[in-house]
């Protein structure tokens, strides 16, 4: 069964003619941990059969040079395009520095060959003439100084390489810190967005509740307006009826204050006599002869009819009752 690349969302299989290279995880513990961190799979540790394809290396293949950018896999779907372009720029810079270093080494080898030839020439000259021994010793001392200078330069180079290694480690730590910060910022931004959406939903619910209350208040207001209109209509009717009652010539209120009207309409000397007769008559009558007309008004209509013999229609207008009641 062909092995599959262990990177997340990568389905490349280790088969022939795939055009890809597949690498097992390194034995060196430090480099192996860096590869595991680059794969970034939760609760996962590679087995001896775990492989990763060359698509995840910037140069298309891994490098055993610890200073090279493709020393560890860095190309994954979760890595942004700007980060990939930055890594590619680092690869180009590394290649340029490697070519320059190789050129310097070649020049140094040529110089060494030239020095070797000069040394041989000096040895021949020493064999030919003892007079040039002193000059040869000086040349030898100069060569020793050059060797010491080369050793010093070699130590300086090693020191620079150590400084460069430390700088790369610090740069890697800084990049990891920036990545962690970007992840935390993205999480915080997502949380803020969720809180904003929740607040918007709560605001919308409150708005719907207020709108419902407004509709209820508007309905109550319309009902109150209708009831007020009905009350105003009833008030107008009652005012009209009061006006009609006030325009009546013969009423209980007008007779209480004017005994002359009592005598004119009924022939009785005073309102007190009229009231006494009414109370006496009411005792001998049923509780209600006509429910639509008070007993006092019934007696008053009868006395006025006997006294003045006015038409029934006039009594209808005076007392505000029906024609049948007067009849």
Domain ranges within the chain, ordered by starting residue: 1-78, 252-326
Reply yes or no on whether the pLDDT at 310 is more than 80. yes
Which stretches of the chain are DSSP H helices? 29-39, 81-128, 133-247, 252-256, 259-266, 271-283, 295-308, 312-319, 323-326
Q: What span, in angstroms and rounded, lies between the C-alpha atoms of 164 and 72?
A: 17
Say what the pLDDT of residue 97 is: 72
More reliable by pLDDT, 249 or 297: 297
| Triad 281, 244, 242: Cα angle to 5° | 85
| Residue indicated by tokens 């009594």 | 315
The band of 317, judged by pLDDT with boundaries at 50, 70 and 90, is: confident
Which tokens is 95 given?
């290649």
Which tokens is 51 given?
């492989």
Neighbours of 21 (CB within 10 A): 15
Neighbours of 174 (CB within 10 A): 10
Query: With 0-12 CB in 10 A as exposed, 13-18 as middle and 19+ as buried, what is 252?
Result: middle
Q: Please provide residue 192's backbone torsions phi and psi, each rounded to the nearest 5 degrees.
A: -60, -40
Residues counted in the chain:
327
Reply yes or no on whether the pLDDT at 98 is more than 80. no
- In the chain the first and final C-alpha atoms are separated, in Å, by 122
Taking the model in full, what pTM does it have? 0.29
Note the pLDDT tens digit of each residue in 256-305.
Answer: 778 888 888 888 888 888 888 888 887 776 655 555 677 888 888 888 88
Return the sign of the alpha-carbon dihedral for residues 132, 138, 141, 143. Answer: negative
Note the pLDDT tens digit of each residue in 203-247.
Answer: 889 998 998 999 899 999 999 999 999 998 888 887 776 555 554
């Amino acid at each position: 069964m062909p092995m599959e690349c262990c990177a997340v969302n990568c389905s490349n299989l280790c088969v022939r003619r795939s055009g890809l290279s597949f690498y097992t995880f390194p034995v060196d513990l430090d480099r192996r941990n860096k590869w595991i961190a680059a794969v970034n799979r939760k609760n996962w540790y590679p087995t001896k059969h775990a492989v990763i394809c060359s698509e995840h290396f910037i140069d298309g293949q891994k490098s055993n040079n610890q200073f090279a950018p493709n020393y560890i896999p860095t190309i994954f779907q979760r890595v942004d395009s700007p980060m990939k372009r930055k890594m590619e720029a680092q690869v180009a810079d590394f290649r340029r520095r490697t070519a320059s270093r190789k050129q310097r080494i070649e020049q140094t080898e040529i110089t060494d060959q030239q020095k070797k030839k000069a040394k041989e020439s000096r040895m021949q000259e020493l064999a030919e003439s003892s007079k040039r021994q002193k000059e040869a010793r000086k040349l030898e001392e100069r060569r020793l100084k050059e060797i010491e200078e080369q050793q010093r330069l070699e130590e300086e180079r090693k020191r620079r390489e150590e400084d460069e290694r430390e700088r790369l480690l610090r740069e890697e730590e800084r990049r990891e810190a920036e990545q962690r910060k970007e992840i935390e910022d993205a999480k915080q931004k997502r949380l803020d967005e969720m809180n904003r959406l929740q607040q918007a939903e709560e605001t919308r619910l409150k708005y719907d509740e207020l709108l419902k209350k407004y509709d209820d208040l508007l309905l109550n207001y319309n009902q109150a307006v209708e009831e007020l209109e009905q009350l105003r209509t009833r008030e107008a009717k009652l005012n009209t009826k009061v006006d009609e009652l006030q325009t009546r010539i013969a009423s209980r209120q007008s007779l209480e204050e004017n005994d002359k009207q009592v005598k004119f309409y009924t022939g009785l000397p005073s309102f007190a006599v009229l009231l006494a007769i009414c109370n006496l008559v009411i005792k001998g009558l049923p509780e209600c002869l006509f429910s639509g007309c008070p007993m006092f008004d019934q007696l008053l209509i009868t006395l006025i009819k006997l006294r003045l013999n006015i038409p029934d229609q006039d009594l209808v207008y005076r007392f505000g009752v029906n024609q049948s009641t007067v009849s």
